[in-house]
Amino acid sequence: MKKFILFCCLCAAAIFFYYTNNTTEQSQIDLSSLHSKNALLLDKNGDVLYEKDADAIIYPASLTKIMTAIVAIEMSPDLQKQTIVEPQTISKFTAQNASMAGFQAGDFVTIEDLLYGTLLASGADATGTLADAIAGSEEAFVTLMNNKAHELGMDDTHFVNASGLHDDAHVSSVRDISKLFRYAMENPTFYQILTSKSYITHVPDELTISSSLFTKIPSGESAILGGKTGYTPEAGLCLATIIEKHGEQYIFVTTNAAGQAWAPPLHIEDALTAYDAL
């Protein structure tokens, strides 16, 4: 009986020290120098390693395109299906000064081309054409996006458009975006596109689409495997990224870093800070 009690005590002590050490490790992650006002760092199991105002309502800017892409992938049995880039799509987003992938009115493109244009170049010309091709209109496509958000338990999220252009009612939180990002990364097509540095389209005149993330990462830096950037004046600099360290992958989502899309990439600096802290 005494041996049994001793054994139980030793087991309890081991469990205590295990969880104490784990808690200590997580609490040692110091990200107090972040430029972003909202942040969430998750390990491969989805456990929270660090958070900063993760439930605050934010404007997701082009992080929206994560949802646009995964809905388009799931709704497209044939990624080589062709569609046409309509003149009104180009004129609409050019007038709004949206970021563009470089497609031209009248181009015949595949769904795959548009997905690369959406995730790598963050092109509104790509998202608008995707929405029309899949749902008939952007409004109908946004309904699919909101349905998927509800399915994923993204309770702080409401989408108004497929591009992430600012609208006061187009909102989310970094916790919601992390749910979406983790879900999307499980799709092999999404993961392949997101982690690509560039892509050459199948349109008659070849168009090279480069990653708006990798073009901003310091040369030789390999901590970031892929991700989606975003910016509007209201949302600040935003980033959802995959970080790898010691063979383990992490998700880091940030929004509301000061600056402009063409300024020093403080959101990427925050991702590299998280990498150093792991």
Catalytic site positions:
62, 65, 122
Helix axis angle, 124-135 to 138-151, nearest 10°: 90
Strand-pairing partners, residue 228, are 240
The phi, psi pair for 237, rounded to 5°, reads: -80, 130
Strand-pairing partners, residue 158, are 171
**Cα separations in angstroms, 75 against 85, 134, 144:** 19, 7, 10
Distance CA 235, CA 225 (A): 24
216 exposed, middle or buried (CB, 10 Å; 0-12, 13-18, 19+)? middle
Answer left, alpha or beta for residue 236, where phi above 0 means left and psi between -120 and 50 means alpha: left
Strand-pairing partners, residue 242, are 226, 251
Identify whether the C-beta of residue 41 lies closer than 8 Å to the C-beta of residue 48.
yes
Mind giving me the DSSP string for 21-68?
A: HHHHHHHT---TT-S-SEEEEE-TT--EEEEESTTS-B--GGGHHHHH
Q: Give the residue from 72, 182, 175, 91 showing the smallest Cα distance to 132.
A: 72
Kind and range of the H or E run holding 119: helix 111-119
